[in-house]
């Protein structure tokens, strides 16, 4: 076993151990603030609601910067910041390291993005969208050995493919949005189950989402449809009053 492979093996072994013990003692938890989903219910990307996308692991892993920035925006307060840092999960990954050493990747290959947030318990928690959990900061540091490059407290959607849609604009896009919602429901695993990576590869129409978020995702889709219907009713009443 080469040094590169050995370092990667040790990282994975330690990471799994930290995840197991962290969950057991309450230092690793699912995203438990439902307000973050409500706050981005009127934000969309190609007619797909952001409150649904943020729960899908495939999106978070493919668009690490966008998902972290979206999550920070969802909190809508001054207690959060987006952190850019290199972490062991990428820094020690043999495929990435070899590509870097061969000149196929630049020095940013190990960059990662997450949200650092001060919560009511007085602790700093790391919200890592790619992991789909929040982790107490000291534990996260032990797990990933982040080397911070920069932090930002700007919580806007600037530079992202997301846009806010509400009122008449939301009603105008009703068919497209509801089509997207229907597709997500069809691809969603049953409540209480999680699509593993192997299942996702075998069935590309399925989405990879952790079991603890399946019901939250379905509830969000229901809430978005109700919001569209409420907007339609408001517009109908308003139009009738003008007449």
Domain-embedded: residue 84: yes
Q: Are residues 168 and 229 in the same domain?
A: yes
Cβ atoms of 52 and 204 closer than 8 Å: no
Is residue 53 included in any domain, yes or no?
no
Looking at the domain assignment, is residue 231 inside a domain? yes
**Average pLDDT score, the chain:** 86
Shared domain check, 119 and 21: yes
Query: Residue 25: which domain range?
Result: 3-30+77-152
| Backbone phi and psi for residue 149, each to the nearest 5 degrees, phi listed first | -95, -45
Q: Report pTM.
A: 0.84
Same structural domain for residues 12 and 99? yes
In 87-219, the DSSP E strands lie at 111-118, 124-128, 133-136, 147-152, 163-164
- Indicate the residue among 94, 124, 152 that finishes a domain: 152
Residue ending a domain, among 122, 152, 182, is 152
The last residue of a domain, from among 99, 127, 152: 152
Domains in the chain, number: 2
Task: Judge whether 49 lies within some domain.
Answer: no
| pLDDT at residue 160 in the model | 81
Lowest mean pLDDT, pick from 125-139, 156-170, 173-187: 156-170
Is 238 a member of any domain?
Answer: yes
Which tokens go with 163?
A: 């846009």
Residues 135, 122: Cα–Cα separation, whole Å:
14
Report pLDDT digits (tens) over 69-87. 999 999 888 899 999 999 9
- For residue 81, the surrounding DSSP H or E stretch is strand 80-86
Bridge-based pairing state of the strands 111-118 and 28-30? unpaired
Q: Does 142 lie in the same domain as 109?
A: yes
Q: Does residue 191 lie within any of the structural domains?
A: yes
Euclidean distance between CA atoms 24 and 14, whole angstroms: 15
């Amino acid at each position: 076993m080469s040094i590169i492979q050995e370092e990667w093996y040790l990282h994975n072994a330690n990471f799994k151990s930290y995840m197991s013990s962290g969950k057991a003692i309450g230092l690793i938890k699912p995203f438990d603030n439902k307000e973050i989903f409500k706050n981005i219910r009127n934000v969309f990307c190609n007619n797909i609601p952001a409150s649904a996308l943020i729960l899908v692991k495939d999106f978070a892993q493919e668009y690490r910067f966008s998902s972290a920035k979206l999550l920070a925006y969802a909190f809508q307060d001054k207690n959060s910041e987006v952190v850019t840092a290199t972490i062991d999960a990428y820094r020690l990954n043999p495929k990435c390291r070899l590509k870097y050493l061969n000149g196929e990747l630049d020095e940013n290959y190990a960059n990662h993005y997450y949200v650092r947030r001060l919560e009511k318990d007085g602790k700093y928690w790391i919200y890592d969208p790619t992991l789909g959990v929040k982790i107490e900061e000291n534990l996260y540091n032990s797990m990933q050995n982040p080397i911070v490059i920069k932090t930002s407290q700007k919580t806007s959607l600037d530079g992202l493919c997301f846009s806010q849609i509400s009122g008449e604009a939301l009603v105008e896009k009703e068919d497209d949005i509801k089509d997207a919602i229907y597709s997500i429901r069809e691809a969603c695993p049953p409540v209480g189950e999680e699509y593993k990576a192997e299942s996702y590869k075998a069935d590309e129409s399925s989405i990879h989402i952790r079991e603890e978020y399946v019901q939250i995702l379905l509830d969000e889709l229901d809430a978005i449809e109700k919001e569209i219907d409420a907007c339609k009713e408001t517009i109908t009443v308003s139009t009738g009053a003008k007449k």
